[in-house]
A and B are shown apart, each in its own frame.
Chain A
């Protein structure tokens, strides 16, 4: 089984995140980079599938040189090899152009199943899985909280607002996962040291037959027009219960249109 996991390096959610004033893209230098948390669940699922069905797990990432830290983490967890798509031309790509670039790489390296987190903690569009499956012409299974491989098809539970759907899809397929699916393992020291020796293939846009005009800031279909800092948190309101506490809480919730 040829399993590919897409991982993204994102700024640590525990640190202050900023956009750059010059081109309104994420300031990746300002914050520590970490592997997108939901992608860790995708890596874990990939490793679980490999342990049960055999095969190989390839980590695929698109991002600047620094994103190699996230690759190493996924390799330390147990993935076999990695492909790192890195090119100045990709800077500023939006979800649509990112899906194009990644799909080009996926066509080149081949896959039976592509796993990824259902969204990233930075852009949070949550659209990549759908876009990838459309571009690759394979089934999409999004928001999976359970995946079972059965020969040339898969069965999954897909999280919904009302519970979950049971879905089946033929392979190859693209699957995005939610955090309920598993518990990602911590890399062991043996894994950390082994990761240093695992192959990481570096690709530029030309290597993956990516049309540079369709990616990057110029190729993006969306544009960040303006941005502002989040307003500071307002001071909380303390309700003193003088027999009418319940009413006051209800009035507050009503004023905020919660009830």
Chain B
């Protein structure tokens, strides 16, 4: 039988990030959120703690941990705030991870130390205005080889960490031939490459999300990340891992709803008693805790398979599906328990409500997760 308790070092990491989130993030994040401002100071401190280097080896400036350590950190951050959690998630699993997994030794040495320290961020450009998971069919961005340079044209949509003051590069997926997708590193500031204005978003308001455009952008041929034509396989791997990370982040939000409600139901009185004494409230909170707990088990199980080097695609899809449901359901219940206050942006549960929806969409929609699970059960593709 396998164990379900955290090893000592994961538990120590969990407690460290929990304390950081409670003491450093919680008191100030509401203000950033309201102003839709990127929390540079918090991100820098997360960098100092080594959070951006968690799953990478020490030789590239990492912490020598693993992907599960990243998930633990994401969960604890998201218990307090999802904007900083998604900034870490995207910075690590979309910004640095493709370079680490598929880049050349030279690319790793050039980019990873800066990204692992959190002093610089990188982004991953896959989704386009006209297509998301339905790549490669829907992809329009192209890159053609010309005099030893890639010439890139096209645009990308909803790209996290793409336009902060500390963003240094974006790895772009582009068609490099008929049905052939490759990924290419484009440093920020390359002529023709522009990050548009920040989107006005329903949630994750203190994170950086932008549309990118590429107009005859020229980068050296050596900026190809991984093998030419392997781009599709590469980002499938990145997305599978990312689903576990998003599941962890979702569990954090779901648990954060429980945390907030436990405090509130003891303080708030109605009809002469603390509302936490009413069974209607108790059952709601019990259901919320149950969802958070079961979703956590789902992502632990997926991460365990991944770390063991076993196929984990189905487990990652299940974890993402169940955890994003838990986040959405808990956010709805938490705001209901808070009543009018739940509708106020100044209360964390109001933020949680706004932040939850995207979890059913990003890194593959809930429908895509169901499709993946069904395929794994042997059901036909069409």
A residues with a Cβ closer than 8 A to B are 72-73, 76, 185-193, 195-196
Contact = CB atoms under 8 A, between A and B. Distances in A.
B19 A186 contact: yes
A56 to B, nearest CB: 22
A73 B15 CA distance: 11
11 contacts: A76-B12, A185-B49, A188-B50, A189-B9, A189-B54, A189-B65, A192-B12, A192-B16, A193-B9, A195-B12, A196-B8
A72 B12 contact: yes
B64 A187 contact: no
Contacts of A191: 50
Nearest to B11: A192
Nearest to A73: B12
Contacts, number: 42
B150 to A, nearest CB: 36
Contacts of A76: 12
Contacts of B19: 186
Contacts of B195: none
Interface of B, helix, strand, loop or mixed by DSSP: helix
B69 interface: yes
Most buried by B among A188, A191, A193: A188
Contacts of B54: 189
- What is the interface of chain A mostly: helix, strand, loop, or mixed? helix
Contacts of A186: 16, 19-20, 48-49
Contacts of A72: 12
Contacts of A190: 50, 53, 58, 63-65
A209 B64 CA distance: 41
A163 to B, nearest CB: 28
A39 to B, nearest CB: 15
Interface in B1-46: 8-9, 12-13, 16, 19-20
Contacts of B53: 190
Contacts of A192: 9, 12-13, 16
Contact of B16 (A187, A193, A196): A187
B381 to A, nearest CB: 41
Contacts of B50: 188-191
Contacts of B69: 189
A190 B9 CA distance: 10
A189 B64 contact: yes
A135 to B, nearest CB: 34
A73 to B, nearest CB: 8
A187 B12 contact: yes
Contacts of B9: 189, 192-193, 196
A166 B118 CA distance: 38
